[in-house]
Amino acid sequence: MRIDVVTIFPELFAPFVTTSLIGRARDAGLLEIEVHDLRNSTVDRHRVVDDEPYGGGGGMVMIAPPWIRAAREHGAGARRILMSPQGTPLTDAKVRELAREDALLLLCGRYEGVDERVRRLVADEEISVGDYVLSGGELPAMVLVEAISRYVPGVVGLPSSVEQDSFRRGLLDHPHYTRPAVVEGLEVPEVLRSGDHAAIEAWRRREAVRATLEKRPDLLARADLTRDERTELASLRACKVGQGTE
């Protein structure tokens, strides 16, 4: 997969694209990531990328022409995404959809925003990483790249770990434990030390349902539950009602 990024701060990406899974994936040829300086797509000697907004008020707005030139130069054949708090919320389903693309172009705005004509002329869609505002689209772009990379074959050493990640079927992940067996009086559940793989898997499924009910019950309405998980959910809900917690 190829991912191109356009930003006025390309230096922010240097450690990100050379470290950990992303760095190893690039070295192995599994991911091709190129970061482009928007100012290289300007045509004036001052390399201007922003101006005062029409109508007054607010901060500076990024002008459209450099973005349009950059998108057309670096985004040929790519799905072009404007990172924006006004965009579609990023979900695991969206990540999996984007991971099937051969090429992506991520546009990282700054200041008060990007001229609306960029969205209309060269962006295929807008994506948001949450209902809050950051100073720019660089961190959201890194979040998107990190999430997508996990679905690129070969990037994650154990593919099964991706399948078990939170949100994969609409559920949060089950709790994880490692050595030591006891930490300040809290013990690792006995089943995880039993060696009974069927019992361990059943425990993990139940605990994933429990964690989702406790932390993100909103996910359960669209979760892909097995019959056993639906039974466990009904039991947990009945228990909560009995305890007067619902």
Q: How far apart are CA 221 and CA 214, in angstroms?
A: 14
Q: What tokens were used for 126?
A: 């807008």
The pLDDT tens digits along the chain (246 residues) read 999 999 999 999 999 999 999 999 999 999 999 999 999 999 999 999 999 999 998 899 999 999 999 999 999 999 999 999 999 999 999 999 999 999 999 999 999 999 999 999 999 999 999 999 999 999 999 999 999 999 999 999 777 667 666 677 889 999 999 999 999 999 999 999 999 999 999 999 999 999 999 999 999 998 999 999 999 999 999 998 777 766
Residues identified as active-site: 85, 112, 150, 165
**d(C-alpha 235, C-alpha 246), whole Å:** 13
pLDDT of residue 35: 98
The whole model's pTM is what? 0.89
The pair of structure tokens assigned to 133 is 């505002």
Nearest of 46, 109, 34, 113 to residue 73 by alpha carbon: 34
Full set of structural domains in the chain with CATH: 2-149 (3.40.1280.10), 182-242 (1.10.1270.20)
